[in-house]
Structure 1
Amino acid sequence: MDYRSFSIEEFVADAYFQRWVLSEEETADIYWKKWLQDHPEQRQDILEAAAILRSMHFTANEPTEEDAAQVWRDIVKNRSTGRYKVKNQKIMAFPWYAVAASIALVLAVTFVMLKVQDVNHALFGISYQTEFGQTQELILPDGSSVVLGANSSLHYSSGWLGDSERTVSLEGEAYFSVVHTEDDQKFVVYSDEVAITVLGTRFNVNNRRDENQILLEEGSIRLSLPQAINKSEKVEVNMQPGELVSVQEGKITKAIAQTEKYISWTAGVFVFEKAPLSEVIELIEDHFGYTVITQGVEPEEMIMTAELRTTDLDMMLRYLSEIFQLKVEKTHETITLSST
């Protein structure tokens, strides 16, 4: 196969390329890495096609013999009611397995058409979405990395590397490690109304509960956001490592923060340093998707210091129960914390 003239759409639809991106087949991995080495001019198309495949998450289900037989029974039934007019000898000329094969072919062609439609939609942009309790590590086309937090989404355009700026939009929480390009191409994160502009740095963004929190670990970034009074004018805030900027209802606050507290989740740990129970409750709701109800307790007055695993909600609840002497009841959608 001559891949030199392939478009992004053709790479996405190619079975051997799909095997490389979506499986761990060693032969395909060796081939495509060598091919990419020999054809660096198509690196951008390759990376974008791979990102599209990973974001599609489609599955193909082949019809079973029973499915095909049922379709055939429906055809016979509908024919008897006059919906389909087919000559008897042509029907009898085909054994049932030939009909089943034809049906399978129609379903396969339909799947391919749907797959192509999915690709065309994906070409307008590439999106990633995490579920409650899930995090995902991403490598962007420029080599920058992102750890996407639970119940969060990240989106960027398919023509990303060709734009004057590398722009992504975020809902939820993410930790960015941005690479610096030779042409000093800006990297911009849009988080609600806040635009975060960088050249190369490490930072965390959290835009939950009508508040934007930006923590800078390394490098420097500039925030651009609308004024509270006059939305048409912008306010710019420059940040230095170790600073935390919060933006809520047009009010901007800047403080020196304990970096580990805000980025430890990327390593699978929640760090609470003299944190009230109310802060832990908000995190449980945002990260795991439960509604937390309190009965007979004062969450603001109950302070804790701990390091807890991000993947183990039950352990977190046991810890809260022990240190605060709480009764914990968990259903499918709610968690109730009450005094014992």
Structure 2
Amino acid sequence: MNPSLIRAIVFDFFDGKATAIQRKSLEAWLADEANQETYFQYLDEWESQRPQFPLDVERAWDAFEPVLLDAHPRLSGPKRTTEPTGWTFPWRGWSIAASVVLVSMASALLFRTQLLYKSYKTPYGQTATYQLDDGTSVTLNANSVLRVPRFGFGSDNREVFLEGEGAFTVTHTPTNQRFIVRTDDDFQVEVLGTEFVVYARERGKRVFLNKGKVKLALPKGQQLYMKPGNVVTVANSGHYQLTQTVPARPYLAWKDHWFYFDNTSLAEIAEQIQERFGLEVVVPDSALAQRRIAGNFKAEKADDLLQILTELLNLNVVKTRQHIELRTFN
């Protein structure tokens, strides 16, 4: 679609003057993820031309959400135009209608996330450093996502959402405004001017504090205060373990594409490879899976680390369509 035309449609949409056809065109254009950042650039441009516009995100969303859902028919029972001549399934119409509504609601929630938050993402095998609007620096490990509010961040709040692993250097504010990192459950890290690393993946949660102060809100309602050098590991069950004094290197090595192994089992190394490179590694032999390694190894690609493992443990790497297997030579 012509950029000037889509810009005009977006501006009409923000002004509340978009026609039904324009809204449909905008919806189709936004279905392409590559266009979403352009959409928010137009939003910034539109707002800058209307400084008197009072920003109320929640109120705006409450008004816009019905528009999204109204694009589909409301849930209603099936209608018959003729007499049935065989077996009928009266629940089938309800099922289809319910599915349409659920899909519409899911789309609305996804759009809301895209509207309210800017996402910083790192693909497998790569790290990246970003500076937030408040001056905070965040380095994301591979296969990680950080969501930051588009509106009010640094003034109304400093609350971000993390999936994966990130190293934060938080900027202090004159008002001592707290900085909060949330994960996908009730786990959150609250800080005041500090350096820390948060790990939040399927295997559990972990926080390492390098400098400053941290207060953890744990999933079961517990609160825990950390000091520099502390590391807290939280299992998915909610059980946590606090280690008082640890070196920083094991928790920061990934920023420079290093793997730090300290009596680490091959099974855990396989999990780290999957998290950071998106490559499933299987160790069929349980005894081999418990073989342990110590040392620092730089690996920017999965093949680099696999080569190191084969040399250290005299392994054979077998590639299948689904995964990679590590085996000992017969």
The answer to which of 326-335 and 218-227 deviates more is 326-335
Q: What secondary structure, in the 3-state scheme, does the structure 1 residue paired with 2:124 have?
A: coil
**What amino acid does structure 2 have at the position aligned with 1:277?**
L
Between the aligned partners of 1:291 and 1:131, the Cα distance in structure 2 is: 16
- SS at 1:133's partner residue? coil
Pairing partner for 1:264 from 211, 231, 253: 253
Q: CA deviation at 1:331?
A: 4.7
Relative to structure 1, is the Cα distance of residues 294 and 124 closer, same or farther in structure 2, using a 3 angstrom cutoff?
same
Identify the residue that residue 325 of structure 1 maps to in structure 2.
314
Distance 1:306 1:186 in 2: 37
5+ residue gaps, structure 2: 1-13, 15-36, 46-50, 52-110
Alignment partner of 1:198 is 2:185 = no
Q: Secondary structure at the match of 2:283?
A: strand
Partner Cα separation in structure 2 for residue 319 and residue 150 of structure 1? 20
In 1, Cα distance between equivalents of 2:273 and 2:175: 42
Secondary structure of the equivalent of 1:127? Answer: strand
Give the equivalent residue in structure 2 for 1:298. 287
Shift of residue 207, structure 1, vs aligned partner = 1.2
> Which residue pairs with 1:274 in the alignment?
263
- Structure 2 residue aligned with 1:217, among 202, 210, 215? 210
CA distance in 1, matches of 2:328, 2:321: 21
Question: Displacement of 1:162 after TM fit?
Answer: 5.4
Q: How does 1:92-131 map to 2 (within 5 A)?
A: 122-131=114-123
Assess if the C-alpha contact under 8 Å between 1:290 and 1:333 holds in 2. no
Deviations 1:69-98 (A, max 9, x none): xxxxxxxxxxxxxxxxxxxxxxxxxxxxxx
**1:134–1:150 CA contact under 8 A, matched in 2:** yes
Q: 2:238 aligns with which of 238, 250, 259?
A: 250
The aligned amino acid for 2:283 is T
Structure 1 stretch displaced more, 326-335 or 241-250:
326-335
Q: Which residue of 1 aligns with 2:164?
A: 172
The 5-angstrom pairing of residues 1-340 of structure 1 reads 12-13=41-42, 122-161=114-153, 163-191=155-183, 192-227=185-220, 234-248=221-235, 249-255=237-243, 256-296=245-285, 298-331=287-320, 333-340=322-329
Residues 277-331 of structure 1: per-residue CA shift (max 9 Å, x gap):
1221111011111111113352453121222224132121111111111101235
Work out which of the two has the higher radius of gyration on C-alpha atoms and give 1 or 2. 1
2:284 counterpart letter in structure 1: Q
For residue 159 of structure 1, give the secondary structure of its aligned residue in structure 2. Answer: coil
Deviation at 1:122, TM superposition (A): 4.6
Partner AA of 2:199 in structure 1: N
- The one-letter amino acid paired with 2:309 is L
Give the letter for the 2:137 counterpart.
S
Percentage of matched positions with identical amino acids: 32
User: Which stretch shows the higher mean deviation, 310-319 or 140-149?
Assistant: 310-319
Distance 1:302 1:222, change over 3 A: same
Shift of 1:164: 3.8
Aligned length: 230
For residue 258 of structure 1, report the CA deviation from its aligned partner.
2.6
Q: C-alpha distance in 1, partners of 2:311/2:279?
A: 20
Q: Secondary structure at the match of 2:139?
A: strand
Which string of whole-angstrom CA distances, capped at 9 and with x for unpartnered residues, describes residues 139-195 of structure 1?
100010111111111102111335543000001111111010111111000023211
SS in 2 for 1:264: helix
Root-mean-square deviation (CA, aligned residues, Å) is: 3.0
Separation of aligned partners in 1, 2:315 and 2:38: 56
Separation of aligned partners in 1, 2:113 and 2:240: 38
User: Per the alignment, in what secondary structure is the counterpart of residue 275 of structure 2?
Assistant: helix
Change (3 A) 1:120 1:246: closer
Q: Secondary structure at the match of 1:155?
A: strand
**1:263 counterpart SS class:** helix
